Amino acid sequence: MSLLLFALLKVLDEAIDGVANFIGEYYGGKSNQAMTNELNLKADRLDAVKFEDPEILNQLDQAYRGALNVRGLVHVLMDIACLYVPYFVFMGLFLGRAEPLLTLTLLLVFVPVLASHSLRSRYYTRLDDRAVVLRRKEEHYKDCLTARAFFKETRALGAGAFFLSRYIRAFKGVQELRYRTELGSQRVAIAANALTLAGYMSILGVLVSLLMRGRITIGSFSAILAATLEMFAMMTEVLDNRLGELSASLGQIRKYFRFLDLPEQEYGEVHIDEQKDIVLEEVSFTYPGAERPALSGISLRITAGETLAVVGENGSGKTTLARLILGLYWPDKGRILLGGVSLGELASNSAYRNVSCVFQDFQRYQLSLRDNVAISDFAKLSASGDAEIQDALAAA
């Protein structure tokens, strides 16, 4: 009967372990998707001109990497709160009853290791800050060599060797930074492990001293030594394995939450459904980090239904003007009015509902023709079927 019960418990243990692994993988993917989606929605609510700032692009790159590590941080914090902290508190009380000095020695073991992980996390944060630009360059050069949008032109220009050399340079730069970081991190880890070993030897010395003085029995010595070994194994698991894995990603996780805290574009609540006149009054605009304005003191009126061509030299601000008229960028000075209403007073969906654009470097969505035509208003598509798509294609 006992053997049967043992067999059933063993089967149940394996079944629970399998279910736990399945749930972990399933909800792991769901949580990563939710974190990334939250980041995408946040990016959509930012002022579009922010993405002209390389620093914002660097933050976004780090935030995407951090989004994939938030779940791991939550798991580690839950394990620490629910498993490791109660265990170490209980073991500290157990050792304190045997000899108060053992508890003090235990603290001398923990503090250096915790301090080392905090210091190592700073190493990896600095690595991520320094490597993000090189990493973005590396991705761009790789796209120039292999991406569909670039490789034909790269081959036609015979620029493959050039981009390959740039890619190798960026790759080596990232690896050099990573090597220096790992070297410094491992030095800190070795120093912390040496202190941990010294603490362990101190505990062993205290136990031997207590045994020789008759303060504890052989049985108590064995029990305390076994408990200490188990406690050190648990400490290695939580500090080296669990927290050690997160040390390299804590900086990216911080960048994730900092990106979510960035100020958002503020819209009004006014809705305009029909075409209206567009008026620009003394509009000026300067790109982030630029010393000179791209546009200065522009005044313009476009009446409803009017066709207007803007002609100028390269770099004269034609694209910038178009982005301002579309409401993608807001002016630093002056006002842009749509039907007498300032862009800042319009609701976000109203500002873009009746406009479309095809820029010089336009986006090629990997979708069907039907989806590419209807991408800006899927709700309307579901109500009317494909009739409006056919009309739009015929008009084009």
Q: List the CATH number of the domain containing 308.
A: 3.40.50.300
> For the segment 338-362, what is each residue's pLDDT rounded down to a tens digit?
877 787 777 776 766 667 777 777 7
Better pLDDT: 178 or 349: 178
**Whether residue 285 sits in one domain with residue 198:** no
Average pLDDT, rounded, for the chain? 80
Domain co-membership, 90 together with 186: yes
Judge if 161 and 282 occupy the same domain.
no
383 pLDDT above the threshold of 60 = no
Q: What are phi and psi of 290, to 5 degrees?
A: -85, 150
Summarize the confidence of residues 385-391 as an average pLDDT.
Answer: 75
What is the per-residue pLDDT for 263?
A: 86
Instruction: Round the CA-based radius of gyration of the chain to a whole number and report it.
Output: 31
**Per-residue pLDDT, 275:** 73
Q: Is residue 226 part of a domain?
A: yes
Name the residue with higher pLDDT: 333 or 12.
333
Q: How confident is the model at residue 168 (pLDDT cuts 50, 70, 90)?
A: very high
Say whether both 164 and 210 belong to one domain. yes
Host domain of residue 360: 278-364
Complete edge-to-edge strand list for the sheet that includes strand 278-285: 295-302, 278-285, 333-338, 341-342
**Backbone φ, ψ for residue 161 (5° rounding):** -65, -35
Give yes or no: residues 286 and 241 share one domain: no
According to DSSP, the residues that pair with 281 across neighbouring strands are 335
Higher pLDDT, 82 or 10: 82
- Say yes or no: 187 and 298 in one domain: no
Q: How far apart are CA 136 and CA 374, in angstroms?
A: 32
Domain stop point among 201, 233, 248: 248
Please write the tens of the pLDDT for every residue from 306-341: 888 888 888 788 888 888 888 888 888 888 888 777
Q: What confidence tier does 210 reach under pLDDT thresholds 50, 70, 90?
A: confident
User: What pLDDT sits at residue 171?
Assistant: 92
230 and 164, same structural domain?
yes
Phi-psi region of 327 (alpha: psi -120 to 50; beta: other; left: phi over 0): left
Counted domains in the chain: 2
Q: Looking at the structure, do residues 115 and 194 belong to the same domain, yes or no?
A: yes
Instruction: Establish if 22 belongs to a structural domain.
Output: no
pLDDT digits (tens, 9 = 90+) for 136-161: 888 888 888 888 778 788 888 888 88
312 and 359 inside one domain = yes
Residue 371, in any domain of the structure: no
Over the stretch 290-304, which tens digit does the pLDDT of each residue have?
888 888 888 888 888
Asked if residue 113 has pLDDT above 60, the reply is yes
370 inside domain: no
Please indicate, yes or no, if residue 1 is contained in any of the structural domains: no
Average pLDDT, stretch 151-172? 87
pLDDT > 90: what percent of the chain? 3
Structure tokens that stand for 54 in this block? 């390389």
Torsion of CA 159, 160, 164, 166, to 10 degrees: 10
Residue that is last in its domain, among 248, 270, 303: 248
How confident is the model over 234-261, as a mean pLDDT?
Answer: 77
Average pLDDT over residues 373-384: 68
Per-residue pLDDT, 382? 61
Q: Is a pLDDT exceeding 70 seen at residue 381?
A: no
Q: How confident is the model at residue 384 (pLDDT cuts 50, 70, 90)?
A: low
144 belongs to a structural domain: yes
- The pLDDT value recorded for residue 103 is 74
Position with higher pLDDT, 32 vs 356: 32
Note whether 93 and 137 are same-domain residues. Answer: yes
pLDDT value of position 292 = 87
**C-alpha closest to that of 177 among 252, 126, 107:** 126
Identify residue 157 by its one-letter amino acid code.
L
Residues of the chain above pLDDT 70, percent: 91
Q: How confident is the model at residue 47 (pLDDT cuts 50, 70, 90)?
A: confident
**Sign (positive or negative) of CA dihedral 325, 331, 335, 340:** positive
259 found inside a domain: no
Q: Are residues 105 and 202 in the same domain?
A: yes
Q: Mark whether 220 and 114 lie in a shared domain.
A: yes
Q: Assign 62 a pLDDT band (cuts: 50, 70, 90).
A: confident
**Higher confidence at residue 7 or residue 153?**
153
Confidence of residue 1 (pLDDT cuts 50, 70, 90): low
Q: Is residue 219 predicted with pLDDT exceeding 70?
A: yes
E strands, 249-390, in order: 278-285, 295-302, 333-338, 341-342
Please give the Cα distance from 251 to 270 (Å, whole number): 41
In a domain, 83, yes or no: yes
